Amino acid sequence: MGEYKAPLADILFAFNDVMKMPEHYASLGYEDATQDLTDAVIEEGAKFAERELSPLNQSGDTEGCTLTDGVVTTPTGFKAAYDIYVENGWPSLSHSPKYGGQGLPESLGIVGSEMYGTANWSWAMYPGLSHGAMRTLVAHGTEEQRELYLTRLISGEWTGTMCLTEPHCGTDLGLLRTRATPQEDGSYKITGNKIFISAGEHDMAENIIHIVLARLPDAPEGVKGISLFIVPKFNVGSDGVKGERNGVVCGSLEHKMGIHGNATAALNFDDATGYLIGPANEGLKCMFTFMNTARIGTAIQGVAHAEWGFQNSLTYAKDRLQMRSLTGDKAPDKEADPIIVHPDVRRMLLTQKAVAEGGRMFIYYLSQQNDLTHESKDEATAEHADHLLQFLTPVAKAFLTEIGYESANLGMQCFGGHGYIHEWGMEQNVRDARISMMYEGTTGIQALDFVGRKLLMNKGESFKIFGAVVNDFLKESSGSAAKEFRWPLRKMMWEWKYVTLRLMAASAKDREMVGAASVDYLMYSGYIIMAYLWARSAMIAGQKLEAGEGDAAFYQAKLDTARFYYAKLLPRTRSLKATILSGPSTLMAMEEKNFQF
């Protein structure tokens, strides 16, 4: 059975040293968020993840959720763990004191989300979906709605969901049919069917607040005719007291490849009472508040499965004896050498390590920009951070989940045949990871957003802004380790600019170029972004070694992993460059009738 140990040394290194979060918090006026406090919060979160959530990961997968008469029962121990989570105040950590929160930065909460998700992704999804609902209410709800719903979501008494897609429309939300009929009292009657609703029905909290997309009777066709509504599982009085069951029922649970411990529900809305949130017919715009939060959350999933796979395959590789090293016996007192001595096993382990630790820095960097976007008092700083956030979010979601899934597979491969057996937990990690590339828009959808909206529509401005960030680092970086990575990174930035200009020019002549190149361009960009983060990490590790500070072995491992990344993973950009620039002709030449089997 696999288990999870929070990698506190790496978390605190990425948080305090690479991202310099204590200084970041001080600049935003978070006087209480000192390093002593944030370190203590992270360490306590690690204990909860290790002691309460990790032991339920495999049992939750085996037991799954059950549906009886519209009521879902979660796996044994899930509700008890959620009760502890609420009692300890974790849901309220990064929310406004005005509505019952503790007022700490949102980026600090992201660290907890990573640890909970790595320990038990199925469980973490129940409270995780609530954060998007909370942010939507903060951004678009009325004060009355915040007092009634937001306060109880923050306390953890209630959880939230987002209800977007329907059986016939998938990602094309302009086709949705759920109706919202106005009532004399200002409420609406919501009727329709929603599918793939994560945590859509469960027994862990006393109420669930669904954030639902629906159409008003006079709404225009397409995405411009969608509105957003609050639909509680149980109706709620103005005093917050839970009333009778609303007209929303779980019709079925999806039988899924993975994340069996989380209830993925098909919800039937039958004249359910709902309340408009935000302006009429601007629901999709409002929902993007929720979706962007969820995209960052899904990016964390890529990191989580890479980390979990790495930890367990590393333990196995140190213990498993098989064959002898080609350069001579490494464990002569044993019948064979541990498999960690073999180069191919090290390739798999180092790939997982580079992805998990590089992805962690990516997530923390993104969360830092999110803080600045919403909390900075300087308008120029907030705008700069928002450009970075919008530019990087689709890359983080798609790139990290793709390489996170690759890493989960490598973790399973390290076990050989044993990895295919349920008891070790490695095949569960692969199954649980697979959905991440589909959540909140598939890799292809994220790539179209990245190229179409974040690159072409703003004529490469966001690309230039991130490029300036990297160039500033290249100018200011110091130390021998920085020198080692500065030139390779500079060359990659020049090449990225060249490829980007070629893509933009080709897309102006042939719109099919966007769809043909988008996924490859996103992945290409992801490898370069991670190279920048590894260069930052290596510089700091090198400075620590030169100064004789801290754990020398830890910092040396950072340099070794950065070198591996630059030598073995970053070169993947060469083939991606070729496929990006090859154009759409070979994709579009074949006539539809010739697609045969």
Q: Count of alpha carbons within 13 Å of 345, Cβ hemisphere only?
A: 21
CA dist 94 and 462 (Å) reads 28
CB 274 within 8 A of CB 212: yes
Can you tell me the distance from the alpha carbon of 14 to that of 105, in angstroms, rounded to the nearest whole number?
A: 16
Q: Give the integer Cα–Cα distance in Å for 38 and 582.
A: 48
Q: Are 165 and 196 in contact (CB under 8 A)?
A: yes
CA-closest candidate to residue 265, choices 187, 159, 172, 396:
159
Cβ within 8 Å of residue 108, ≥6 positions away: 21, 33, 38, 41, 42, 93, 94
Cα separations in angstroms, 75 against 13, 57, 79, 115, 136: 35, 10, 8, 20, 29
CA dist 287 → 133, 223, 322 (Å): 9, 12, 53
Is 131 within 8 Å of 296 (Cβ atoms)?
Answer: no
**In a 3-state reduction of DSSP, which class is residue 326?**
coil
Strand partners, 248: 269
The number of CA neighbours under 13 Å toward the Cβ of 296 is 31
Q: Using CA atoms, how far apart are residues 518 and 530, in angstroms rounded to an integer? A: 18
Measured CA angle at 33 (ends 29, 37), to 5 deg:
165
First to last CA, the chain: 42
Catalytic-role residue among 3, 147, 440, 476: 440
**How long a stretch of residues is the chain?**
597
- Comparing C-alpha atoms, which of 456, 408, 383, 450 is closest to residue 307? 408
Question: How do beta strands 158-163 and 207-214 pair?
Answer: parallel
Q: Is 440 a catalytic residue?
A: yes
Q: E strand or H helix at 303, and its extent? A: helix 283-319
Locate tokens 């006087």: which residue? 31
Catalytic annotation, residues: 440
